Amino acid sequence: MGKGEFLGEFEQLVILALLRLGKDAYGMNVRRELEDTAARQVTFGTVYGTLDRLEAKGYVRSWHADPEPVRGGRARRYFEVEPEGELALARARDMMSKMWDGVELVTRRDTAR
C-alpha cells in the first residue's frame, strides 16, 4: 500500500461526518457536524479543501443540487462516500486498533478538547 492511501486524522473525521449525515451531507452541515460532534472549530475553507482532496483520491464524490434563494441563488454541493473511501476508513480504524491493542494508559485523565 502506498503512503498516500493512509487517511489523516482530519480526513477520517470528515468521512465519518459524511457517513453520519447520510443524505444531508453538504458543506454547511459537514462543518457543523465537525463543530458539534467532534468539537473541531474549522473554517469552510479547511472543510472544502479536505473534501476536494478526498474527491481527487476517489474516496468521495460530489454533485450540485438546485440553486436556492437563501443561499443567494447558489446551489448546495452534496457529498457521498465511495466504496474506496469506506475501505480506506476501515483500514485506518483497523490500523489504530492494532496499535492500541495491549496498550494501557498510565494516566487515565479525561482530556476534553
CB of 103 to other proteins, least distance (A): 20
Nearer to other proteins, 20 or 32 (CB): 32
Among 1, 39, 70, 105, binds other proteins (CB under 8 A): 70
Range 7-13, long-range pairs (CB < 8 A, 24+ positions): 7/88, 7/89, 7/91, 7/92, 10/40, 10/46, 10/50, 11/50, 11/53, 11/54, 12/89, 12/92, 13/38, 13/40
CB of 36 to other proteins, least distance (A): 13
Among 37, 74, 94, 100, binds other proteins (CB under 8 A): 74
Among 49, 58, 87, 96, binds other proteins (CB under 8 A): 49
Q: How far apart are CA 38 and CA 78, in angstroms?
A: 20
Nearer to other proteins, 75 or 96 (CB): 75
Q: Examine residue 4 and tell whether it contacts other proteins (CB under 8 A).
A: yes
Bridge pairing between strands 60-68 and 74-81? antiparallel
User: Counting every residue, how long is the chain?
Assistant: 113
Q: Examine residue 91 and tell whether it contacts other proteins (CB under 8 A).
A: no
Position 3, amino acid: K
Nearer to other proteins, 68 or 86 (CB): 68
